[in-house]
Amino acid sequence: MRISRSSPPRPEQCVLAESVPVSNRELVVLGTASQAPTRTRNHNGYFLRWDDEGVLFDPGEGTQRQMLLAGVTATQVNRICVSHFHGDHCLGLPGVVQRMSLDGVAHEVSVCFPADGDGVAIFRNLRYATLYHDRVTIRENPVTSGGVIAKTKAFRLAARKLDHPVPTVGYRLTEPDGRRMLRERLAAKGIEGPDVGRVQRDGRITTRTGETVRLQDVSAPRPGQKFAFVMDTRLCDAAFELALAVRNKAVSAYQQVMDLQF
């Protein structure tokens, strides 16, 4: 299932969305089952399309096939984020990584996961669970503490340790703040066509009448969108911090059992 601005989620999917204009962004839910899959629900798996970036969260068993059914290709995945190493959140890793090699994914793929509990060894055991021709470039990014763990032009990726019997982390993507162009102010200043791009790029422009117009004169602040991913945790400060940071901003994914574990 896809969760996007044009497709509001049903309550049972435990995914919250705000109707806010976005670029090419959607959450493709590949599975929501816990521990054991059912006839109608696959193990966990969530693909976040964020403009030109593709982030795969918690690929449980069967994720490779679910991606095929959902029209998500291995080449679209730039980053994999694992919350913890219980099987329903990571047993799909071997198949996904091997599919990347099979399809000849040319770009580097960063994989984030909890460092505690010998996380690097667990990840490598999953990555090399079977024999195959390993052709994909994987950059391991074990999460040792909270804070920003990656930066791109599109977002900052932060992680926080959660409260679960095994080492677990939650993730948050934050888009840089920007500005929203105001059509009526642009028209009042006689700015149109390519000149709109120039004032966005240069921060100011001199109109045909000789007036200097600044970007802030014809635009308004636009807070960057955010996405939070919180799984399998007891109630804790870090879970609330991740969740509240995205409230009324973007999309959040939570597992329903979070509210049942005390």
Catalytic site residues?
Answer: 88
Cα angle 126, 131, 135; round to 5? 85
On the CB side of 138, CA atoms within 13 Å amount to 25
Q: Residue 55 forms beta bridges with which residues?
A: 48, 79
* DSSP three-state, residue 96: helix
- Taking the mean position of all CA atoms in its chain, how far away is CA 240? 18
| CA distance linking residue 45 with residue 79, whole number of Å | 13
> DSSP H helical segments within the chain, as ranges?
63-70, 93-102, 119-127, 183-188, 194-202, 237-245
Residue 93 CA: distances (Å) to CA of 104, 122, 241? 17, 11, 28
